[in-house]
């Protein structure tokens, strides 16, 4: 609420400082206000993009030429959430019933498990991906098995054909 008020105060003014908005973030990048849109140069440097030497684009825009993967002062990614066994247990149970929980159920789960709603959302997305993956794999395995069985069947048939051919030849 207090932060909201501060924001509104600044927002009502047409010109506001980018430094004020970015706060501490600006200290590290200095005054350079360079755009970071790696996907505009798609074909050119795939390596740089894939490597994502700097998951914090802001600070590392100059690092495109000098990659320092192990700059540990900050990583732009949200720290990995470590779900407890109990939390996963509940989530798995709910997933069995409904793997596309709506906002109400997600909020409820967030409250009951003391997690943010978005963590729930992401968990279900990843869980569905996992299930799809396993289903794909098992169906692939089914195909493999079927192919193998067919091949085995063919071998038997070939054996039979060979035998019958020999018998026929024997008779002729």
Identity of the residue, 100 or 168, whose beta carbon is nearer to its own copies in the bound complex: 100
Alpha helices in 13-84 (DSSP H): 18-22, 25-29, 46-51, 57-60
- Measure the CA–CA gap between 126 and 116, rounded to whole angstroms: 16
Q: How far apart are CA 44 and CA 36, in angstroms?
A: 15
* Distance in angstroms (rounded) separating the CA atoms of residues 71 and 134: 36
Residues binding DNA (CB under 7 A): 39, 50-52, 55-59, 69-70, 73-83, 88, 100, 102-103, 119, 121-130, 132
Quick one: 18 or 150, whose CB is closer to its own copies?
A: 18
Lookup: tokens for 65: 């030429």
Site residues (CB under 8 A) for its own copies?
1, 3-4, 6-8, 10-12, 16, 18, 21-25, 33, 35-37, 39-40, 55-58, 74-79, 84, 86-87, 89-90, 93-94, 96-105, 108-109, 111-114, 116-118, 121, 128, 131-132, 135
């Amino acid at each position: 609420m207090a932060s909201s008020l501060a924001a509104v105060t600044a927002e009502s003014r047409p010109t506001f400082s980018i430094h004020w908005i970015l706060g501490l973030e600006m200290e590290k990048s200095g005054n350079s206000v360079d755009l970071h849109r790696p996907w505009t140069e798609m074909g050119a440097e795939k390596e740089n993009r894939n490597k994502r030497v700097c998951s914090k684009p802001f600070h590392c825009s100059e690092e495109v030429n000098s990659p320092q993967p192990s700059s540990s002062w900050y990583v732009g990614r949200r720290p990995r959430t470590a779900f407890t066994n109990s939390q996963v247990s509940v989530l798995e149970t709910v997933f069995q019933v409904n793997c596309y929980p709506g906002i109400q159920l997600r909020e409820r789960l967030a409250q009951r498990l003391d997690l943010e709603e978005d963590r729930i959302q992401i968990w279900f997305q990843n869980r569905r991906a996992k299930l799809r993956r396993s289903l794909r794999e098992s169906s692939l395995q089914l195909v493999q098995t079927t192919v193998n069985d067919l091949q085995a069947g063919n071998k038997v048939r070939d054996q039979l054909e060979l035998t019958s051919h020999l018998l026929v030849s024997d008779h002729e």
